[in-house]
Amino acid sequence: MSYPSPPYHYACWGPAGDWRRGHVILAANVDTIPSPPPQNQAAVMVDGLWGGHEWTLYPQPYRHESPYLAWLRLPSKNAASDTLTRPIHKRMWQAHPDKSNVHLVDPGVFSEFKDKVEEVKAAVMDPFHEITTNARFSRIQHPRTAYSRAFEALDRLEKDFEAWRDFVEVVRGLQRNLLELMAFADWWHDIQQGDESRLPSRRSRAPTRGAIFDDEGLYASHARWSIAAYLIIPNNRFILDPDKRVTLLPRTSSRIDAMSIQPLVHSLHLWYHPPHVGDVYADFETAARGYAERLDTFNPTKEFKRMLDKLKNQMADEGTFLFFLDPF
């Protein structure tokens, strides 16, 4: 029995393996296909990323309620100069002038992040309004959690740090949420273009994280948008070009050595840490973004709990709401 060729573009393909047995995975606008995520619980690596679980780097299942996540920007060749993806190093903080064993963020670094937050805020304000007022977008999940977390992380970044790990996780937390907001703004810009001829080509678009699809139509439309797109289909669905076959790449974008074990008590809100979930493939990204249950529990240090209680009492007395008190 013969099978047709795919009616849509693909740049490479490979056996899906542990992605889904008896299937293959096609990819558009990329030259490689990553292996499936590790099934063990995620850990924070020495670079602050979450290793093979890092959801801002590796494609995740497409979600109809948050389609903009496919537009997440990947680090460019000039990542060191990009506020959103720059690596973290100890030149980014400095010793506190009055306290021993305490550090502060470098003023220039903080200024860069503050400016980026304002830039991103300006980029998402109009789309935020449209999403919340236009019935056409009623099913789209407003990235308000990323918005509040970005401001919380910026606020925390300006305060004292005793542990290098806390500094790294705050910077990465700020970057992740800004990346999500920028993906939302980029997605919004593209869907407003209408005419596909006005959309950026793969050469002109910055590399994107993309998404994994089961729906061939959604895959094809994202491929036309020059977004990284991955499609899992049964291995007998089409005849595929043998010259385009690739081996799935291991997930080595992050340094593989863990910074330390997951803390038993938390000096930061729980969302700064990788979530524990039952199904890594289905739930990790959603739990990390604050929209699904996580199995680990928030256990603040005594000092952090006192600070949270003080803030809550202060807000209650003033009759205001502090957007980042929720540790999830």
Residue 204 placed within a domain: yes
Q: How much is the pLDDT for 325? A: 43
Q: What is d(CA 53, CA 280) in angstroms, rounded to the nearest whole number?
A: 8
Residue 303 placed within a domain: yes
CA distances from 289 to 13, 53, 193 (A): 29, 13, 28
Residue 7 placed within a domain: no
Q: What are phi and psi of 319, to 5 degrees?
A: 70, 30
The total domain count for the chain is 1
Q: How much is the pLDDT for 259? A: 80
Residue 326 placed within a domain: no
Q: How much is the pLDDT for 265? A: 79
Residue 87 placed within a domain: yes
Residue 324 placed within a domain: no
Residue 115 placed within a domain: yes
200-255 pLDDT, tens digit per residue, is 665 667 799 999 999 999 999 999 888 999 999 999 999 999 999 999 999 875 55
Domain range enclosing 30? 12-318
Q: What is d(CA 261, CA 147) in angstroms, rounded to the nearest whole number?
A: 28
Counting as low any pLDDT under 50, the low residues of the chain are: 321-328
Three-state secondary-structure class, residue 252: coil
